[in-house]
């Protein structure tokens, strides 16, 4: 392949036979889909969209982009791409830290796992080779002790991406955790690894950044991108809101909009939001603010619990999403307990957003007397910690809840209390208060998700322009632009935060200088659109259509609180506007669109 | 007689009309008073609680923002045309010779660079920092700090940008600028 930047090497690991083949990257695919999310989805697509998620045929891809591990700011990212056991759609989940960079430095753009090992193994990656090594002594261990054992064994510099007990036990929302506390959180990637008996991916590599094809252009492109970050009032190190407080700086402003779901979205404004906000956490619990490869923002919030039943716990990172899911959503106003629950998620390897929703669903089932037995009351923090453990170990009620919010509610006979779309639970922006997010949840290709198209940038912060969060008109077009832009940055793979300060021009300039392939800002948006449509096409071939672009009934019929007290979601109107902007027919990509985007010839 | 055109959401405040004719007004101030008598809902759409024109509402006389004229004291003559833009983004789709947008998240130097890349002249030191001029259009902006509601931890600078065109539709320049200025996050 002529394109620079890439390692031009992917390992295809057949866990059934133990065979490992090394491949170059198809240049045409690299031009069309770039890398990470885009190229990962293409590998999954070529592997066949109709494979069962829990079959050896499903592929689990760890994919870097051409910028991963480079000098580019915020480039410590990779995408884990697979068919989700939670949603049965394509899914991709991104991870920060250093594993992505080390994977690139060890000589790989990606690792593709297929098949199923008959015994637990882990993949050891070093100097352009992959070996499968027995993991019998690690199986049954949590993330923290797995990482510790492997670090003792191999020394540094080492990165470990591993599953905990949740992945081993097939919890449908199990995550893959990177270096103790960074998660490829959503979609159940950890359950796929567990099914394959793949405990971990271990990477040993010294820094070896890819060299830009055009060093002059790179200097200009890199400096401009970096300067936008350093001058960003959102991101700037030590002064930007996200740098100082982390993502949980959003708790108060979203609550002010009436967008913080309380007690499983029965209300949308939380009296105790301040107690679990980024401001309070910084004041009372913060111990450090770690960062990822090539990132000056350092948004991670490491905390130390000084008192109460979890005194002595040191963990990262207390983010907005879990603070909502395990806090307001469950009527738990104690940030120390939120920290404990997130650490459980990190150690068992589970998605904190789904866990919060499955617990709040269980709490509502208890409130409405749908459960036999004592159930779990709102704000019962000890019960939450116990339930989290039961889920990871699939013991007692945990076995039912380990199936996820949608399946768990079905088993109670009350699907209406599952706040989920396509089987994946909602994140921390109530759809009634932010209509762009409502549409984003409904149409996301991986089930409810705030990161496919992050409209709160516009609806809460006014970046790049302020839109009325309660208005639905125009959100279809707005969402499409956000989704396409993010699909491109996810394919580079740069952190989502980069998009607060960089746009298509900055992405194009960095790609062009590093890879040596000209690209315009318009082409950046077209690539993003292509990736988004390939995902949608994959899902269409699995049987998904417009009827699956839905929302829980509650958001369509019950109003919220505060500024959202008169608001329900105008879903049909928004979907019509969105499909028109996308050129889709009832949620299905027509062949003409697939051809126009060069997805099919 | 002066013709006043309204855009986007402001039209809802004047019973869905696109424009209104006003007789006898000699200043913008007098004209707005006249309009509010006829359409009381306009009060909140145009003025803030202190009686000032809301910061992101743009009032143009013959395509010029009154902020760059005499403000609400700007004199009017028969045959003048006014454009009133609401506090929304993305520019308007009107045939007007001016268009406006309010953006956040971009530093001022980058706004300047973007407009230079769109054909504006590299500003020399005598020019104001908030202006880029080409031979077909000119752009100016003002800035203000906005507080994010509910947050003690975040404030953002907003740039209220006005593009005026002479030979070329300012909407086209705005569209190209907004492509450059598109951001996301997450």
Closest by Cα among A294, A293, A310, A297 to A249: A297
Token couple for A184 = 């490829």
Close Cβ partners of A251 (under 8 Å, ≥ 6 residues apart): A260, A273, A276, A277, A278, A320, A323, A324
Pick among A278, A449, A466, A526 to test the B interface (most B CBs inside 10 A):
A466
Residue A495: which pLDDT band, with cuts at 50, 70 and 90? very high
pLDDT of residue A582: 98
B157 contacts on A by Cβ (under 8 Å): 233
CA A253 from centroid of its chain's CA atoms: 22
A254 contacts on B by Cβ (under 8 Å): 150
A244 contacts on B by Cβ (under 8 Å): 153
Q: What is the pLDDT of residues A369-425, one digit of tens each?
A: 999 999 999 999 999 999 999 999 999 999 999 999 999 999 999 999 999 999 999
A454 contacts on B by Cβ (under 8 Å): 184-186
Strands (E) in A55-103, as ranges, are 60-64, 78-83, 90-95
B155 contacts on A by Cβ (under 8 Å): 233
Q: Do A234 and B89 touch (CB under 8 A)?
A: no
Which chain A residue has the Cα nearest residue B90?
Answer: A465
Query: Which CATH number does the domain housing residue A351 bear?
Result: 1.10.569.10
Shortest distance between the Cα of A498 and any Cα of chain B, in A, equals 7
The predicted complex's ipTM stands at 0.92
Question: What whole-number distance in Å separates Cα of residue A335 and Cα of residue A318?
Answer: 9
Q: Is the peptide bond before A464 cis (omega within 30 degrees of 0)?
A: yes
pLDDT of residue A558: 98
Report the C-alpha dihedral over residues B113, B115, B120, B126, rounded to 10 degrees: -60
Q: Do B149 and A256 touch (CB under 8 A)?
A: yes
Shortest distance between the Cα of B108 and any Cα of chain A, in A, equals 10
Q: Do B185 and A499 touch (CB under 8 A)?
A: yes
Tally of residues, chain A: 601
Asked if residue B93 has pLDDT above 50, the reply is: no
Which of A144-148, A202-206, B171-175 is predicted with the least confidence, judged by mean pLDDT? B171-175
B149 contacts on A by Cβ (under 8 Å): 253, 256-257
Shortest distance between the Cα of B22 and any Cα of chain A, in A, equals 31
Helix residue ranges per DSSP H, chain B: 28-38, 42-46, 108-117, 170-181
Q: What is the pLDDT of residues A11-42, one digit of tens each?
A: 999 999 999 999 999 999 999 999 999 999 99
Mean predicted lDDT score pLDDT of chain B: 85
Residue B155: which pLDDT band, with cuts at 50, 70 and 90? confident
For A279-315, b where at least 16 C-beta lie within 10 A, e where not — what string? bbbbeebbeebebbbbbebbbbbbbebeeeebeeeeb
Question: What whole-number distance in Å separates Cα of residue A29 and Cα of residue A33?
Answer: 6
| B185 closest CB neighbour out of A279, A466, A500 | A500
Which chain A residue has the Cα nearest residue B108?
Answer: A231
Asked if residue B96 has pLDDT above 60, the reply is: no
A252 contacts on B by Cβ (under 8 Å): 150-153
Question: What whole-number distance in Å separates Cα of residue B162 and Cα of residue B91?
Answer: 9
Shortest distance between the Cα of B37 and any Cα of chain A, in A, equals 27
- B45 and B10 in contact (C-beta within 8 Å)? yes
| B104 closest CB neighbour out of A231, A254, A462 | A462
| Residue tagged 């833009």 (tokens) | B85
pLDDT of residue B168: 62
Q: Do A464 and B158 touch (CB under 8 A)?
A: no
**Domain assignment present for A227:** no
Question: What whole-number distance in Å separates Cα of residue A265 and Cα of residue A409?
Answer: 15
Q: Do A457 and B152 touch (CB under 8 A)?
A: no
A275 with A342, same domain?
yes
A492 contacts on B by Cβ (under 8 Å): none
| B103 closest CB neighbour out of A252, A464, A482 | A464
A464 contacts on B by Cβ (under 8 Å): 89, 103-106, 178, 181-183
Closest by Cα among A287, A388, A280 to A344: A388
A395 with A524, same domain?
no
> What SS3 state is found at A583?
coil
**Domain assignment present for A223:** no
Asked if residue B81 has pLDDT above 90, the reply is: no
- How many domains are there within chain A? 3
Pick among B12, B57, B90, B151 to test the A interface (most A CBs inside 10 A):
B151
CB atoms within 10 A of CB A557: 10
Domain boundaries, chain B: 2-85, 98-181
A503 contacts on B by Cβ (under 8 Å): 180-183
| Residue tagged 């070529």 (tokens) | A46
A271 with A173, same domain?
no
Q: How far is CA A282 from CA A244, A279, A285, B153, in A?
A: 8, 5, 6, 11
**Average pLDDT of the residues in B61-70:** 79
Final residue of a domain: which of A405, A425, A445? A425
pLDDT of residue A325: 98
**Average pLDDT of the residues in A346-357:** 98
Inter-chain contacts counted by CB atoms under 8 A, chains A and B = 134
Close Cβ partners of A378 (under 8 Å, ≥ 6 residues apart): A263, A330, A331, A363, A367
Chain B, residues 77-136, CB within 8 A of chain A, namely: 87-90, 101-107, 109-110
A522 with A583, same domain?
yes
**Domain assignment present for A323:** yes
Shortest distance between the Cα of B63 and any Cα of chain A, in A, equals 22
**Domain assignment present for A559:** no
Q: Do B148 and A253 touch (CB under 8 A)?
A: yes
Close Cβ partners of A552 (under 8 Å, ≥ 6 residues apart): A265, A416, A418, A419, A420, A421, A426
- The DSSP call for residue A460 is I
A284 with A348, same domain?
yes
Question: What whole-number distance in Å separates Cα of residue A309 and Cα of residue A286?
Answer: 18
Domain around A522: 435-550+570-596
**Average pLDDT of the residues in A493-508:** 97
Question: What whole-number distance in Å separates Cα of residue A39 and Cα of residue A67?
Answer: 13
Chain B, residues 145-164, CB within 8 A of chain A, namely: 146, 148-158
| B156 closest CB neighbour out of A233, A482, A485 | A233
Q: What angle do CA A293, A295, A297 make, to 5 degrees?
A: 145
Token couple for B174 = 């705005």
A227 contacts on B by Cβ (under 8 Å): 107, 109
Tally of residues, chain B: 186
Q: What is the pLDDT of residues B29-50, one digit of tens each?
A: 999 999 999 999 888 888 887 7
A172 with A305, same domain?
no
CATH class of segment(s) B2-85: alpha beta
Residue A221: which pLDDT band, with cuts at 50, 70 and 90? very high
% of chain B surpassing 70 pLDDT: 90
Asked if residue A595 has pLDDT above 60, the reply is: yes
CB atoms within 10 A of CB A578: 23
Q: Do A504 and B179 touch (CB under 8 A)?
A: yes
% of chain A surpassing 90 pLDDT: 99
> What SS3 state is found at B69?
coil
Question: What whole-number distance in Å separates Cα of residue B90 and Cα of residue B58?
Answer: 13
**Average pLDDT of the residues in B18-29:** 90
Which chain A residue has the Cα nearest residue B156?
Answer: A233
Which residues partner with A82 through β-bridges? A60, A91
B186 contacts on A by Cβ (under 8 Å): 450-451, 454, 457, 486, 496-497, 499
Q: Do B89 and A504 touch (CB under 8 A)?
A: no
A439 with A354, same domain?
no
| A464 closest CB neighbour out of B106, B151, B153 | B106
| A245 closest CB neighbour out of B153, B157, B185 | B153
Q: Do B185 and A456 touch (CB under 8 A)?
A: yes
Question: What whole-number distance in Å separates Cα of residue A370 and Cα of residue A283?
Answer: 40
**Average pLDDT of the residues in A116-126:** 98
| B89 closest CB neighbour out of A231, A466, A499 | A466
**Average pLDDT of the residues in A162-172:** 98
pLDDT of residue B90: 40
Q: How far is CA A383 from CA A273, A362, A374, A492, in A?
A: 21, 11, 11, 42
- A320 and A186 in contact (C-beta within 8 Å)? no
A327 with A353, same domain?
yes
| B183 closest CB neighbour out of A227, A245, A457 | A457
pLDDT of residue B8: 67
Distance in angstroms between the alpha carbons of the first and the last residue of chain B? 50
Question: What whole-number distance in Å separates Cα of residue A181 and Cα of residue A244?
Answer: 19
Question: What whole-number distance in Å separates Cα of residue A397 and Cα of residue A375?
Answer: 9
**Sign (positive/negative) of CA torsion B21, B27, B29, B34?**
negative
**Average pLDDT of the residues in A533-560:** 98
Q: Is the peptide bond before B141 cis (omega within 30 degrees of 0)?
A: no
A128 with A172, same domain?
yes
User: Please, is A369 exposed, middle or buried when counting C-beta atoms within 10 Å of its C-beta (0-12, 13-18, 19+)?
Assistant: exposed
pLDDT of residue B12: 78
Final residue of a domain: which of A425, A445, A474? A425
Q: Do A257 and B101 touch (CB under 8 A)?
A: no
CB atoms within 10 A of CB A211: 12
Which residues partner with B64 through β-bridges? B61
B184 contacts on A by Cβ (under 8 Å): 453-454, 457, 482, 485-486, 489, 496, 499-500
Shortest distance between the Cα of A489 and any Cα of chain B, in A, equals 10
A481 contacts on B by Cβ (under 8 Å): 182
Q: Do B146 and A462 touch (CB under 8 A)?
A: yes
Q: How far is CA A431 from CA A57, A261, A459, in A?
A: 36, 9, 12
Residue B135: which pLDDT band, with cuts at 50, 70 and 90? confident
Question: What whole-number distance in Å separates Cα of residue A33 and Cα of residue A41?
Answer: 9
Token couple for A399 = 């076995």
A500 contacts on B by Cβ (under 8 Å): 105, 183-185
- A564 and A508 in contact (C-beta within 8 Å)? no
A388 with A500, same domain?
no
Question: What whole-number distance in Å separates Cα of residue B158 and Cα of residue B160?
Answer: 6
Q: Which fold has domain B98-181?
A: Ribosomal Protein S8; Chain: A, domain 1 (3.30.1370)
Q: Do B150 and A249 touch (CB under 8 A)?
A: no
Final residue of a domain: which of A425, A450, A480? A425
| A253 closest CB neighbour out of B149, B178, B184 | B149
Token couple for A244 = 């100082």
| A460 closest CB neighbour out of B89, B148, B179 | B148
A400 with A463, same domain?
no
């Amino acid at each position: 392949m002529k394109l620079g930047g890439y390692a031009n090497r992917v390992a295809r690991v057949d866990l059934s036979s133990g065979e490992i083949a090394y491949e170059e990257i198809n240049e045409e695919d690299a031009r069309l889909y770039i890398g990470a999310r885009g190229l990962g989805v293409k590998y999954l697509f070529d592997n066949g969209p109709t494979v069962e998620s829990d079959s050896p045929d499903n592929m689990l891809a760890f994919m870097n982009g051409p910028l991963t591990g480079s000098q580019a700011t915020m480039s410590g990212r990779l995408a884990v791409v697979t068919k989700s056991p939670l949603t049965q759609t394509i899914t991709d989940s991104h991870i920060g830290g250093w594993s992505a960079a080390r994977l690139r430095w060890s000589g790989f753009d990606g690792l593709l796992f297929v098949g199923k090992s008959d015994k637990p193994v882990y993949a050891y990656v070093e100097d352009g080779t992959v070996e499968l090594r027995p993991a019998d002594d690690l199986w049954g261990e949590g993330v923290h002790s797995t990482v510790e054992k492997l670090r003792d064994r191999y020394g540094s510099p080492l990165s470990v991406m591993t599953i905990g007990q949740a992945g081993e036990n097939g919890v449908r929302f199990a995550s893959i955790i990177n270096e103790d506390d960074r998660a490829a959180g959503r979609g159940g990637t950890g359950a796929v690894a567990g099914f394959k008996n793949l405990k971990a991916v271990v990477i040993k590599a010294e820094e070896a950044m890819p060299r830009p094809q055009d060093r002059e252009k790179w200097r200009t492109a890199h400096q401009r991108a970096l300067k936008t970050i350093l001058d960003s009032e959102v991101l700037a190190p030590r002064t930007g809101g996200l740098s100082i407080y982390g993502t949980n700086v959003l708790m108060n402003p979203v609550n002010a909009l009436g967008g913080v779901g309380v007690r499983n979205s029965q209300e949308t404004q939380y009296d105790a939001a301040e107690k679990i906000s980024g401001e309070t956490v910084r004041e009372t619990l913060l111990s450090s603010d770690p960062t990822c490869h090539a990132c000056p923002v350092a948004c991670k919030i490491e905390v130390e619990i000084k008192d109460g039943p979890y005194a002595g716990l040191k963990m990262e990172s207390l983010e907005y999403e879990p603070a909502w899911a395990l806090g307001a959503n469950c009527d738990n106003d104690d940030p120390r307990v939120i920290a404990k629950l997130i650490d459980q998620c990190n150690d068992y390897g589970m998605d904190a957003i789904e866990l919060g929703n499955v617990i709040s669903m269980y709490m509502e089932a208890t409130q409405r007397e749908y459960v036999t037995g004592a159930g779990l009351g709102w704000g019962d923090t000890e019960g939450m910690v116990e339930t989290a453990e039961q889920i990871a170990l699939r013991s007692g009620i945990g076995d039912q809840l380990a199936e996820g919010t949608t399946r768990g509610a079905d088993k109670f006979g009350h699907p209406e209390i599952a706040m989920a779309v396509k089987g994946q639970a909602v994140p921390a922006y109530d759809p009634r208060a932010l209509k762009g997010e409502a549409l984003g949840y409904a149409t996301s290709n991986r089930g409810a998700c705030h990161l496919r198209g992050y409209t709160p940038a516009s609806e809460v912060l006014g970046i790049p322009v302020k839109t009325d969060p309660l208005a639905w008109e125009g959100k279809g077009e707005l969402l499409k632009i956000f989704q396409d832009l993010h699909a491109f940055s996810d394919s580079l793979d740069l952190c989502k935060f980069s998009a607060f300060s960089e746009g298509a021009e900055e992405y194009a300039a960095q790609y062009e200088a590093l890879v040596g392939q000209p690209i315009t800002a318009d082409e950046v948006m077209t690539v993003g659109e292509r990736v988004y449509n390939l995902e949608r096409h994959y899902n269409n071939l699995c049987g998904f259509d417009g009827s699956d672009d839905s929302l829980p009934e509650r958001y369509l019929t019950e109003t919220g609180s505060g500024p959202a007290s008169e608001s329900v979601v105008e879903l049909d109107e928004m979907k019509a506007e969105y499909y028109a902007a996308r050129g889709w027919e009832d949620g299905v990509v027509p062949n003409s669109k697939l051809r126009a985007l060069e997805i099919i010839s | 007689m002066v013709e006043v055109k309204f855009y986007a959401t402001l039209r809802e405040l004047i019973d869905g009309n696109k424009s209104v004719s006003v007789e006898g007004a000699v200043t913008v101030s007098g004209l707005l008073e006249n309009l509010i008598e006829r359409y009381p809902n306009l009060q909140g759409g145009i003025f803030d609680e202190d009686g000032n024109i809301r910061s992101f509402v743009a009032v143009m006389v013959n395509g010029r923002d009154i902020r760059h004229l005499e403000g609400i004291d700007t004199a009017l003559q028969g045959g003048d045309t006014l454009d009133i833009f609401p506090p929304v983004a993305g520019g308007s789709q009107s045939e007007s010779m001016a268009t406006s947008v309010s953006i956040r998240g971009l530093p001022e130097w980058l706004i300047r660079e973007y407009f230079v890349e769109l054909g504006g002249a590299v500003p020399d030191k005598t020019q104001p920092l908030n202006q880029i001029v080409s031979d077909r259009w000119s752009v100016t902006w003002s800035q203000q700090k906005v507080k994010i509601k509910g947050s003690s931890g975040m404030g953002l600078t907003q740039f209220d940008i006005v593009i005026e065109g002479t030979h070329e539709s300012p909407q086209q320049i705005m569209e190209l600028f907004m492509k450059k200025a598109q951001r996301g996050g997450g």
